[in-house]
Amino acid sequence: MIEISSEKIIQKLIESNKNFKSNHEVSWDSGKPRMRLAILTCMDCRINPFAICDISLGDAHVIRNAGARVTEDSIRSLVISHKFMETTTWCIIHHTECGMHALSEEIITDLLKDDLESAVLEDGIWKNPERESTKNKKPGSNYAEHIHWYTFEDQRKTLISDIEVLKNHPLVPSHIDIFGFIFDINSGELKLID
């Protein structure tokens, strides 16, 4: 992993935006997706839903969270996407090698109780490393016990369950088409889950 300071990251974003701004053209007049499509997918940086689905900016709303899970917040975004932006097809895209599959509610909670800094994976086990120093001045917190982290063991079963949660939600109209996929990180295949 590249070590880079926050200041350099922000500077790169600002400089990159100058180039973007000089070539920026608005190609549509609203936030309504041309394909009336909303995609819920994982925040994993290896996932590019536009490339995976061969769609362009403006074709779909893209909602991301850890694990591509149907949570209160993703439901909120999907309902807004339909109610005010007319999406009628929703796709949930999970992926192989998802970090949320390798974790559990207990692991996350225990690690956060002990330390708020980044954990490391050693010999297949997540742990808080011994640190000589840190910029963080806050101790670990048991507040993590109050958050549902939406980890999962069986990806296919979880995806099907999340689709059912959406289909049966009182704010989701019955005519919304909802599909689930698993994207294979290694092969690039997007597999429809029935």
Q: In the chain, where are the structural domains located? A: 30-101+150-193, 105-130+138-146
Mean pLDDT of the chain: 94
User: With b meaning 16 or more CB within 10 Å and e meaning fewer, what string describes 123-162?
Assistant: eeebebeeeeeeeeeeeeeeebeeeebbbbeebeebbeeb
**pTM > 0.85:** yes
End-to-end CA distance of the chain: 37
Q: Which of 64, 74, 70 is nearest to 44 (CA)?
A: 64
Which CATH architecture describes the domain 30-101+150-193?
A: 3-Layer(aba) Sandwich (3.40)
Average pLDDT score over residue span 84-94: 98
Q: Select the more confidently predicted residue: 27 or 185.
A: 185
The per-type count for the chain, helices as H runs and strands as E runs, is: 5, 7
